[in-house]
Amino acid sequence: MIDFKALAKEYKTPLYVYDFDYMTQQFEELKEAFRGRKSIIAYAVKANSNLSVVQHFAKMGSGADCVSIGEVRRALLAGVPKYKIIFSGVGKTDDEIKEAIEKDILYVNVESEAELGRVELMAKELGKVSRISIRVNPNIDPKTHPYIATGLHDNKFGVAIDTAKRMYIMAKNSAHLDPVGIHFHIGSQLTELEPIREAAEIVADLVRSLNVLDIELKFFDIGGGLGIKYKDEQAIKPYDYAQAILGTLTALDMTIICEPGRFLTANAGYFLTKVLYEKQNGAKKFVVVDGAMNDLLRPSLYNAYHKVEAITENDGECREVDIVGPVCESGDFFAKNYKLPPLEHNDLLVIKSAGAYGFGMGSNYNTRGRSAEVAVQNGEARVIRKRESFEGLIALEQEFLEK
């Protein structure tokens, strides 16, 4: 058990705490699920890009799924081998594409015909051949929140099957492109298996049709999106997930690439925030805390649910409250109509499932420094990111003040 009270006392609040032992357990379970086939587990860096988190997975043999050149640099710095790094994302600049090619990563994941042309041109300018994958949009409803659905035609990601086939033929005939993989990702927080299986089947059929054209791909990239339990969701078991994918790959000898993020880190993370005071407005009761939407945005952005545990000496009857922060926005809340006991100044709230899309989506809005991050491993705690200072926040601006 993690002693949250002791951590809050030592490292102050607001504070992110990550259970590295839980991350290890999740990684090993997913790796075991694909044990029967050639596979790469490529951690989705966007979920939690702290260098120590990325390094933790790298030490276990993980690759990295990156959606910016900054994430590619993070992955390399954290010890991920270049041959296990994938560069995805819709809007890559020419400079980013060039750097990815020069760094000789596994491949650039291409999202459009226009982008394929830019990758070819950048490779030509460098006098190199760029390995590429194409992100295919199978037009499958992932049954998830619309903001994190990515596999439908009205989403900005990927290309249709016919377009993909045309792009593979173009890449095959190019002196500066080497088509090595195919990729799909229908959305995040997926809790139903059938849409995943359907998408894999569609993409596997495309691979077979490409083989007929003498375009033989080495990597079958199934993306990420494996859901977790925030409240009462029924999460997909990694074994069932793997079997659903593998069942579509009959007669295809390809390395499977899986890009988990949330699955590995979300339930390993906790956000600690202290109660400042309670407030009553008419019939509405608020618990005002020292953390805010700039620290953990998901509730404000998605109306996302996070379980909250109160650490308090008060055993009074629970009542419904809104948990809100100090930021000057009505949308600054962690939960609404949440049942908690009466709380006192300095009581601690532990907001759970905060290890993915938590710190990374944070900001300095209202000139608030972002919190520290602490790792807990084998019963020992250590800082993996210092708390931001005011001096650090203004460092890039101060020199431009008029004298």
Q: What is the DSSP string of 14-51?
A: SEEEEEHHHHHHHHHHHHHHTTTS-EEEEEEGGG---H
Q: State how far the Cα of 52 lies from the Cα of 340, in Å rounded to an integer.
A: 34
Residues 2, 270: contact at Cβ < 8 Å?
Answer: yes
Instruction: Identify the residue whose tokens are 């102050």.
Output: 12
Instruction: Identify the residue whose tokens are 């997909």.
Output: 236
Q: Which domains are assigned to the chain?
A: 4-15+267-394 (2.40.37.10), 34-260 (3.20.20.10)
Residues 374, 336: contact at Cβ < 8 Å?
Answer: no
Q: State how far the Cα of 81 lies from the Cα of 304, in Å rounded to an integer.
A: 34
Residues 304, 331: contact at Cβ < 8 Å?
Answer: no
Residues recorded for the chain: 403
Q: Give the pLDDT confidence score for residue 145 in this predicted structure.
A: 41
328 is catalytic: yes
Q: Spell out the residues 6+ positions from residue 42 whose beta carbon is closer than 8 angstroms to its own.
A: 62, 63, 64, 65, 84, 85, 86, 257, 258, 259
User: What parts of the chain have a pLDDT lower than 70?
Assistant: 141-156
Tokens standing for 219? 């990597």
Question: How far apart, in Å, are the Cα atoms of 305 and each of 4, 93, 229, 298?
Answer: 21, 35, 10, 8
Q: Spell out the residues 6+ positions from residue 295 whose beta carbon is closer than 8 angstroms to its own.
A: 14, 271, 273, 325, 358, 359, 362, 368, 370, 371
Q: Give the pLDDT confidence score for residue 294 in this predicted structure.
A: 98
| Bridge partner list, 110 | 134
Q: Give the pLDDT confidence score for residue 155 in this predicted structure.
A: 59
Q: Spell out the residues 6+ positions from residue 18 whose beta carbon is closer than 8 angstroms to its own.
A: 48, 50, 53, 265, 268, 269, 270, 355, 373, 374, 375, 376, 384
pTM above 0.85? yes
Residue type, 168: Y
User: Can you point out the beta strands (E) in 186-265?
Assistant: 219-221, 255-258
Q: Give the pLDDT confidence score for residue 147 in this predicted structure.
A: 42
For the chain, what is the radius of gyration of the CA atoms? 23
Q: Give the pLDDT confidence score for residue 94 in this predicted structure.
A: 98
Q: State how far the Cα of 43 lies from the Cα of 58, in Å rounded to an integer.
A: 9
Catalytic residue chosen out of the listed positions 66, 258, 318, 328:
328
What DSSP designation does 318 have?
P
Residues 187, 147: contact at Cβ < 8 Å?
Answer: no
